[in-house]
Amino acid sequence: MTLLESVLADEMISVKKELQDAYVLGIPNELTQVIINLINNAKDAFKHNSILLREITLRVKKKGEFVIIEVSDNGGGIAKEHIEKIFEPYFTTKHKSRGTGLGLFMSRMICEQGLGGTLDVKSSKKSSIFSIKIPLDRDEEENIKRA
């Protein structure tokens, strides 16, 4: 969030955080890249759909042996005809000069191959919710509890 602070302020996007401490296996920069991509896509959706009250919610919660990270926005949702295609390489709804169609494809690959998890989406007419599900690092949590 620190990396995006000035962009979010410039775009008048409010971010609500509902965070639970969790430790996961993987390279932190990879997870950061996925979250930045999801937030940047929300920012683009706000502009494209002329949304004035721009809100992103970032949730982190533990569920069983996993952590669920949700990035939701009120940017107008994803069209039904696009929802099945958004994770395909080179698919984009943006103008050719603004998007390559690789962001969500790479984000899903990072989640699956780099983090051993998943990246999925749910969408309605008003909002989108991207869910990242990755395994908890129980060893790290136990080490911190003992310290």
Residue at 26 is within a domain: yes
Give me the domain span that covers residue 56.
Answer: 15-137
Residue 76 sits in a domain whose CATH number is: 3.30.565.10
For residue 2, being part of any structural domain is answered with: no
User: Is position 34 within any domain?
Assistant: yes
Instruction: Tell whether 102 is covered by a domain.
Output: yes
Count of CB atoms situated within 10 Å of the CB of 25: 15
Q: Tens of pLDDT along 10-66?
A: 999 999 999 999 888 888 899 999 999 999 999 999 998 999 999 999 999 999 999
| Structural domain contains residue 63 | yes
Region class of 115: left (phi > 0), else alpha (psi between -120 and 50), else beta: alpha
The pTM of the full predicted model, rounded to 2 decimals, is 0.89
Upper half-sphere CA count for residue 105 (Cβ side, 13 Å): 10
- Residue 117 domain-assigned (yes or no): yes
